[in-house]
Amino acid sequence: MEVTGKIIVALPEMSGTSKMGNPWKKREYVLETIESFPKKIHFDFFGEKADQFVLNLGDTIRLSFDIESREYNGRWYTSIRGWKAEPSTEGAPAAAPGQAYPDPRTAPAFPQPAAGFGAPQAPAYGTTQPAGGFPTPTPPAPADTANDDLPF
């Protein structure tokens, strides 16, 4: 499985020795997804992956992972075990080639609306513009019913 997000927590490395006498280590992180409603995901890298993928706060990555569940004393525990992390540009600001970030001196201060939705328009026909700036509708003139061919 894969997910893309930003590293918001990097916990200290943990290490120890197993019952069999083998050394082990793991690094734990919390990733926040880049979506309308972000989710926080706690995951870890175990063993040699802990040294292979050292992540920093603020890194935006695409994480490949497996979900594992195990039972202990009648309770179930689930962990997310990462097996690959690669840099991602999803959700990052767009930059020109050879430029780390967009130059704020060349970008417009406020985006200007295009003609159509949201653009300033002249008052509609048959309205007046009072001092407050909101148009007041003028009732339409009575229709000539002799030339009206509509059935209603």
Q: Tens of pLDDT along 87-107?
A: 987 765 544 444 444 555 555
141 assigned to some structural domain: no
121 assigned to some structural domain: no
98 assigned to some structural domain: no
Categorise residue 21: left if φ over 0, alpha if ψ from -120 to 50, beta otherwise.
Answer: left
Structural domains in the chain (count): 1
96 assigned to some structural domain: no
- Mean pLDDT within 65-93: 90
pLDDT at 22: 93
Helix (H, G, I), strand (E, B) or coil at 101: coil
- What pTM was computed for the model? 0.58
44 assigned to some structural domain: yes
Q: Residue 14 sits in which domain range?
A: 2-87
CATH code for position 42: 2.40.50.140
33 assigned to some structural domain: yes
- Mean pLDDT within 71-87: 95
45 assigned to some structural domain: yes
Hunting for tokens 């019913």 — which residue is that?
Answer: 145
Rounded (5°) CA angle 42-4-82: 45
